[in-house]
Amino acid sequence: MPPPNDLSVIGRRQPRLDGAEKCSGRSVFADDVDLPGMLCGKILRSPHAHARILKIDTSKAEALPGVKAVITAAHAKGMMGGRRGAEPVFADDLVTYKGREIAAIAALDERTAEKALQLIEVEYEELPPVLIMRHALQAGAPLVQADKPGNIWSDNIDSYGEPEQAFDTADLVFEEKFSTSVTHNLFAEFHVAVVDFTLPNKLTLWTPTQTGLLMQHALGPAFGLSVSQVQIIHLNTGGAFSGRGGVRPHHYIAALLSRKTQRPVKIFAAGDEEFLVCRALGENDYRMRIAVNKDGTIKAVDMDAHMDGGAFPSEVGYFGWMAGLCNSWVFPLQGNRLRRRVVMTNTRPHFLPHGGMMLTSNAAIMQLCTKIARSLGRDPIDFLRQNAIEAGHHGLSGEVFASCGLKECLDIVRRESGWDQKYGKLPDYHGIGVGIGAMASGAKGAFKHDTSAALVKIGEDGIVTLYTGIPDMGQGTHTTMAMITAEVLGIRADQVRVVAGDTDLTPIDVGAFAQRGTVQTGNAVKNAALDARGQLARNAAAQLGADEDQLVFRGGKIYAAGNPDKCLDFARVVYGTLHSGEGRFTMGRGFYNSPLKIKTTSWSFGAQVAEVRIDPETGVVSVLRVTVAHDVGRVINPLACEGQIDGQVFSAMSQLLYEEVLSDEGMYLNPSRLEYKMPRTYEMPEISHHFVETVDPYGPFGAKEIGEGIVVTTGGAIAAAVFDALGGQYIHKVPMSPWRILRAVRARERSAVA
Amino acid sequence: MLLPDHQYVTTNSLKECLRLLAESREKAMVVGGGTDVIFNMRLKLFQPDVAVSIRKLDELQQVEELTNGGLRIGAGARLADLAEHPAINDRYPAFAESVRAVASTHIRNMATLGGNICLHTRCAYTNNSEEWRKGLNSCFKTEGKICHVIQTSSRCLAINNADTPLALIILGAVLTLQSAGGSREVPIAEFYTNDGMDNTVLRPDELLTHITIPPVSDRTAFLKLAPRQGMDFATVAVAARCDGTGEKVSKVSIVVGSISTNPIILHEPSRIVSEQGLGDEAISAAVDSIRDELGPLTNLFSRASYKRQMANVLVRRVLVALRES
Ligand SMILES: Cc1cc2nc3c(=O)[nH]c(=O)nc-3n(C[C@H](O)[C@H](O)[C@H](O)COP(=O)(O)OP(=O)(O)OC[C@H]3O[C@@H](n4cnc5c(N)ncnc54)[C@H](O)[C@@H]3O)c2cc1C
């Protein structure tokens, strides 16, 4: 049953407030920033995967007219980058991956910088590299880091509930191995940093990012500045997909160059350099085991993963943990065991793709679930529904799922996809599959707090300005925040202007990751708007002769509940509040911090059915249709939610079927948009969007995330559909490229003959 | 990635253009639509002293009807215009199909037919930036003496990835190559060499000016398989032609592209179907005989074994398409 809707802005189809600006090319991105006297920075990168630097001679480059500075590790002593401060900004004496930063130049223009780069002379002693995770694990393999024996960066086992007992007592155990390939997030806006560090106590950085705050936290200490002395301007961020979670060497380098030259410096990744700068998925090998009883009860899941973290693994292990943990967000397990060994190789440091490791792990789990359902003679949707958690469920690692519409989602996709007419009845090489998934809306843990704050200022004309630090990287969060503000104040969303993306102007916000935006920042914005409303309510209540808490703000009017005819104009109340004896200027403040110690309050849940057709001669998989039902708590903006679905279905299809960085001896062979095969609009399936509104008790107006819950679920659904199209055959490797599919087709043909 | 230092000259007459090419020879590079040549200059794969644009040469942009029913197409004609040209679609549907198969609408709006025919070979080991290539030893393309694709090869194995030449070969098109010194006609089937470095017989002082397609009443077909629909080079592409109707034929020609340094004209498979007709069995026999003619498959951008299988699939499909047309 839909929730009673007494809302006037939320739930309406609101076009992006910055849509016209974006479409007409007026939005400013970091690369558009052009400061007086700005220099062009370029980075010299190692052509070797593993080498000792014997000598660097920069004298010829320095002598080139137009070159203003040349720096190397000697200029960045002790400066550590990376998410956990594990990665020196420049290679000092040892190079551990191709593309590693060796030196950098600031010159008057790009041409001079390019020329100067060619003039730096570096003498290397090449060392044997380990380029593939399998090789890194072999006895006697060269070590990436001398103090990491066996190239193991970390090895963690987490056990929740009683996994051993569950596996021992279960009727059946299913086990399968899966693996993933190296990827790139391939956002529209390549990596770029513009830094002005010409005053000793002020560093300003323009860059696309998912978090201004974490960048302040990293850059401040590195340059002897406090957090507020570092200003991050992330005007617009051209896509992120989990790939812009933190500071990278080029940010530090731009700052070093700016400080040294006393001029602003811009560094941008050119073409194939982008593939070395980015931090996305590395190779992962999973062994998945599922324990079930004959009655269809899933008892436990056990994931054993090897994850290639590259030369500086940072937090790969944490994301592996999420990839195992999330199984207990959809199934009421008796036990969940997850082991992650993070392995080092002489390759680009890896991080995570859109959907984290959850997309590929879910692709594995949903193939397995389809297999189990088939083995038990069960319909896969029935089987998942039997095992789906419900609201009120307590998870094994302490989660409490306050709202959950997973079963309703399954019912919707069964009906809307025509599942009952199709499953088991489609012709050969035509498949249908179901996937389920869940996603945390915010995951407290990076700091003691997970705070977002917001300010609302109301001009005397009634126009509202909202100040928020949440980055908009295409997901449309700024429009969402304007809608929340407008709902509280009873005005239209387009009467709210959003000021964002500048840490000097906006209050704290941890950032746009871990799907925290709508819930954490949304609550902060709601609180700020409520604060402002309270100030106006005092004035309005007096004029209306009503109680403050009886007032309704709606449609630009303020009135007492039940008496809309006797109303005040919102803008006039604002005007009157200022033009009064008190002279009050209305400004609301608010912040929100999750009431939990760690983790999350709210999860989104979803089910999807995908239909695919395989060409058994070419191995090409066409995704025909994806039916999506998602419990987002409350739909704030249907347009944005549908857009999130379309984008994530695309991304999941792309990652699952297409994306792979190919390499030979550590050289990336396809570092371009042309050769890194992402599908295009032609490949888009038909999508139908359905929402379940469970009105979460924590989210603003009951809303939960819609940032990655979809992509993870689509991954499962498409994988299950491919499995079905192949007559119940696993595809063990992502991406499921045509040649891999073809191998499975051949295997199937052979077994049919035998 | 900036363009290397060079002079960009827009020539205003064919004569001026040919004179400039005669003077500059190896130091010049013709720019048609520039969709390939400019990008390769950014990668510093091409570093011409003079880039000679032919965009203003009106005489190279015409499509002329010949009295014999054929067409004479200027090398500077844009692919976007050719894709929609009524006479081309009417008389040479397989060629029209191959034109539409090139890249994307945006690129076809710029690209010329001459540029597609003269397109340089491509290689996963070289078609990246100069900085990127520093991680590799020099190969034939970069003044070295090895080929990264097959280390023991004595020549460059980069692939010819162009689409329209396949259709033009089966149509028996003839290329007009002009230089300041004169003009010669070369059948497109004889235009390509098997050296990835120097993959056509075009001399540095020559310009491809026209493409003449004779009248053809045979059945023709063109098929392309690429990882994505649109904006993608072929994994494999094929074009084929036959006379007769239904399964009955006496002369079939088949050409396969994007798997080698040059388009490969398949002799044995063509002979088999020419003699036995386009029945399923004959087609299977023809497909089975492809392997020997493909030569070493250059493992580029996609796996060699996959390419090989796809060549078989596409040849089968193109023969079936002929039968059914
Ligand atoms: C993203 C992308 C996708 C692509 N996809 C495809 C594809 O699917 N299929 C395909 O075939 N190509 C593809 N291409 C390559 C290229 O765009 C086309 O081949 C196009 O037709 C080239 O024509 P052009 O006029 O732009 O050639 P240019 O770039 O101008 O020239 C190409 C070469 O031909 C020479 N040349 C040009 N005109 C003449 C002439 N009249 N006489 C002598 N020499 C000449 C030039 O010197 C140069 O060596 C793609 C390119 C890009 C960037």
Q: Is the dihedral of CA B268, B272, B278, B284 positive or negative?
A: negative
What is the C-alpha to C-alpha distance for residues A297 and A384, in angstroms, rounded to an integer? 9
Q: Which CATH number fits domain A284-345+355-444+598-753: 3.40.50.2300, 3.50.70.10, 3.30.365.10, 3.40.50.1860?
A: 3.30.365.10
* Spacing of C-alpha B75 from chain mean position: 13
Q: Which of A268, A348, A614, A677 to mutate to test the interface with B (most CBs of B within 10 A)?
A: A677
pLDDT beyond 80 at A84: no
Distance from CA of B117 to the nearest CA of A (A): 20
Residue B304 is predicted with a pLDDT of: 85
Contact across the interface for A671 and B132, Cβ inside 8 Å: yes
First vs last C-alpha separation in chain A: 53
pLDDT score of A509 more than 50: yes
Cross-chain Cβ contact B131/A45 below 8 Å: yes
Tens of pLDDT along B125-170?
888 888 888 888 888 888 888 888 888 888 898 999 999 999 999 9
Whether A511 and A275 have beta carbons less than 8 Å apart is answered as: no
d(CA A346, CA A52): 13
Distance from Cα B114 to the centre of ligand 1, integer Å: 8
Domains, chain B, ordered by start: 1-55 (3.30.43.10), 219-324 (3.30.390.50)
Where do the domains of chain A lie?
19-25+451-592, 33-128+188-277, 284-345+355-444+598-753
Interface test with B, best of A98, A100, A102, A272 (most B CBs within 10 A): A272
All residues of chain A having their beta carbon less than 8 Å from the beta carbon of residue B230 are: 680, 682
Pocket of ligand 1 (CB under 6 A): A 674; B 29-37, 39, 54, 75, 79, 102-103, 107, 110-112, 114-116, 118-120, 161-163, 202, 207-208, 231-233
Distance in Å, alpha carbon of B187 to nearest chain A alpha carbon: 32
Q: Least CB-CB distance to B128: which of A98, A272, A738?
A: A272
Query: What pLDDT, on the 0 to 100 scale, is given for residue B152?
Result: 85
Interface of B with A (CB under 8 A): 1-2, 42, 124-125, 127-129, 131-132, 134-136, 148, 225, 227-233, 301-303, 305-306, 309-310, 313
Q: Which helix (H) or strand (E) covers residue A511, if one does?
A: none
CB contacts of B225 in chain A (<8 Å) are 618
- pLDDT at position A83 is 65
Give me the residue label for tokens 């019912």: A411
Question: What separation in Å is there between the alpha carbon of B117 and the centre of ligand 1?
Answer: 7
Name which of A667, A680, A742 is nearest B228 (Cβ-Cβ): A680
Q: Provide the mean pLDDT of chain A.
A: 95
Check if A677 contacts B (Cβ < 8 Å): yes
Retrieve residue B23's tokens.
Answer: 């003077």
The token pair at A511 is: 């950032």
pLDDT-derived band at A368, boundaries 50, 70, 90: very high
A740/A621 Cα distance (integer angstroms): 11
Contacts of B301 in chain A (CB under 8 A): 669-670, 675
Residue A7: left if φ>0, alpha if ψ -120 to 50, beta else—which one? beta
Q: Which residues have a Cβ under 8 Å from the Cβ of A14 and sit 6 or more positions away?
A: A479, A483, A493, A637, A639, A640
Q: Name the residue facing A667 among B2, B135, B306 (closest C-beta).
A: B135
Tell me, yes or no, if A680 comes closer than 8 A to chain B by beta carbon.
Answer: yes
DSSP per-residue codes, A181-239: -------SSPPEEEEEEEETTEEEEE---S-HHHHHHHHHHHTT--GGGEEEE-S----
Q: Do domains A19-25+451-592 and A284-345+355-444+598-753 have the same CATH topology?
A: yes
Residue A527: which pLDDT band, with cuts at 50, 70 and 90?
very high
* Chain B residue with Cα closest to A110: B2
Residues of A forming the active site: 708
Using the Cα atoms of residue A61, residue A62, residue A68 and residue A69 in order, give the sign of their dihedral: positive
Chain B residue closest to A43 (CA)? B131
Mean pLDDT throughout A425-442? Answer: 97
Confidence bin at B299 (pLDDT 50/70/90): low
Chain B residue closest in CA terms to A45: B131
Query: In this prediction, what percent of chain B has a pLDDT beyond 70?
Result: 98
CB A10 within 8 A of CB A479: no
Q: Could A739 and B232 be called an inter-chain contact, meaning their C-beta atoms sit closer than 8 Å?
A: no
Q: Are strands B252-257 and B50-53 parallel, antiparallel or unpaired?
A: unpaired
Distances (CA, A) of B263 to A126, A493, B117, B209, B238: 40, 60, 11, 21, 9
Contact A273 B131 (CB under 8 A): yes
Question: How far is the C-alpha of A589 from the C-alpha of A527, rounded, in Å?
Answer: 7
Q: Give contacts of A739 with chain B, Cβ < 8 Å.
A: 302-303, 305-306
* CB-CB contact of A217 with A229 (8 Å): no
Q: What is the DSSP string of A37-86?
A: TPEEEEEEE-S-SSEEEEEEE-HHHHHSTTEEEEEEGGGSTT-EESTTS-
| Cβ of residue A272 closer than 8 Å to a chain B Cβ | yes
CA dist A39 → A64, A74, A112, A205 (Å): 15, 21, 10, 14
CB-based burial, A470-487: b 16+ in 10 Å, e otherwise? bbbbbbbbbbbbbbbbbb
Q: What is the pLDDT of residue A2?
A: 37
The CA distances from residue A117 to A268, A278, B5, in Å, are 14, 21, 16
CA angle B136, B138, B141 (to 5 degrees): 120
In three-state secondary structure terms, A650 is helix
DSSP assignment of B76-133, as one string? T-BHHHHHT-HHHHHH-HHHHHHHHTSS-HHHHHH-BHHHHHTPPPB-TTTSS-HHHH
Instruction: Answer yes or no: do B228 and A111 touch at CB < 8 A.
Output: no
Separation of alpha carbons A16 and A476, rounded Å: 7
Contact B2 A111 (CB under 8 A): yes
Mean pLDDT (chain B, rounded): 94
A108 in B contact zone (CB under 8 Å): no
Between CA A437 and CA A430 the distance in angstroms is: 23
Which chain B residues contact residue A671 at CB under 8 A? Answer: 128, 132
pLDDT tens track for B217-272: 999 999 999 999 988 999 999 999 999 999 999 999 999 999 999 999 999 999 99
Give the Å distance between the CA of B49 and the centre of ligand 1: 19
- Residue in B8, B18, B29, B37 to alter for ligand 1 test, most ligand atoms within 8 A of Cβ: B37
User: For the segment A5-48, what is each residue's pLDDT rounded down to a tens digit?
Assistant: 589 999 999 999 999 999 999 999 999 999 999 999 999 999 99
Instruction: List strand residue ranges (DSSP E) for A293-398, in order.
Output: 298-310, 335-344
Q: Report CA(B34)–ligand 1 centroid distance (Å).
A: 7
Interface size, chain A vs chain B, as Cβ–Cβ contacts under 8 Å: 73
Q: Which residue of chain A is at minimal alpha-carbon distance from B304?
A: A739
Q: pTM surpassing 0.80?
A: yes
Residue from B128, B134, B301, B310 to probe the interface with A (highest A Cβ count within 10 Å):
B128
**B230: alpha, beta or left? (left if phi > 0; alpha if psi -120 to 50):** left
Confidence of residue A86 (pLDDT cuts 50, 70, 90): confident
| Phi and psi angles of residue B57, each rounded to the nearest 5 degrees, phi first | -85, 95
Distance between start and end Cα atoms, chain B? 48
pLDDT confidence of residue B135: 84
Q: What is the mean pLDDT of residues A222-226?
A: 96
User: Which chain B residue lies closest to A268 (C-alpha atoms)?
Assistant: B1
* Burial grade of A428 (CB within 10 A; 0-12, 13-18, 19 or more): exposed
Would you tell me how many other CB atoms lie within 10 Å of the CB of residue B154?
10
Going by CA atoms, what residue is nearest to atom 6 of ligand 1?
Answer: B103
Answer whether A192's CB lies under 8 Å from A28's CB.
Answer: no
C-alpha to C-alpha distance for A589 and A507, rounded to whole angstroms: 10
Look at residue A1 in the predicted model and tell me its pLDDT.
Answer: 34
Query: Whole-angstrom Cα distance, residue B78 to residue B33?
Result: 8
Q: What's phi and psi for A239, nearest 5 deg?
A: 90, 150
In angstroms, what separates the C-alpha of A44 from chain B's closest C-alpha? 9
* Res. B298: pLDDT tops 70: no
Question: CA-to-CA distance for A352 and A279, rounded, in angstroms?
Answer: 7
- Residue from B81, B118, B224, B301 whose mutation best tests the ligand 1 pocket (most atoms within 8 A of CB): B118
Measured between alpha carbons, how far is A629 from A634 in angstroms, rounded to an integer? 13
Closest CA to A193 of A72, A38, A27: A38
Residues 20-59 of A with CB under 8 A from B: 45, 47-48
Q: Which of B8, B17, B30 most suits a substitution to test ligand 1, by most atoms within 8 Å of the C-beta?
A: B30
Among the partner residues A271, A677, A683, nearest to B1 by beta-carbon distance:
A271
CA A553 from chain center: how many Å? 35
**Chain A residues touching residue B224 (CB < 8 angstroms):** none
Tell me which chain A residue has its CA closest to the CA of residue B104. A680
**Chain B residue with Cα closest to A99:** B132
Mean pLDDT of B52-66: 97
Tokens of B208: 């491809």
Residues A713, A360 contacting (CB under 8 angstroms): no
Protein fold of A19-25+451-592: Aldehyde Oxidoreductase; domain 4 (3.30.365)
Is the bond leading into A735 cis (omega within 30 degrees of zero)? yes
> Yes or no: is domain A33-128+188-277 CATH 3.90.1170.50?
yes
Residue B118 Cα: closest atom of ligand 1: 34
Write the pLDDT tens digit of every residue in A718-750: 999 999 999 999 999 999 999 999 999 999 999
Asked whether the CA dihedral A616, A618, A620, A622 is positive or negative, the reply is negative
Cβ within 8 Å of residue A34, ≥6 positions away = none
Share of chain A above pLDDT 90, in %: 91
**Of A271, A669, A738, which has the smallest distance from its Cβ to B129's Cβ?**
A271
What is the band of A60 on the pLDDT scale with cuts at 50, 70, 90? Answer: very high
Whole-number Å distance, alpha carbon A274 to ligand 1 midpoint, is 25
Q: What is the pLDDT of residues A181-198, one digit of tens each?
A: 999 999 999 999 999 999
Model confidence over A383-418: pLDDT tens digits? 999 999 999 999 998 999 999 999 999 999 999 999
Residue A3, pLDDT score: 41
d(CA A392, CA A398): 12
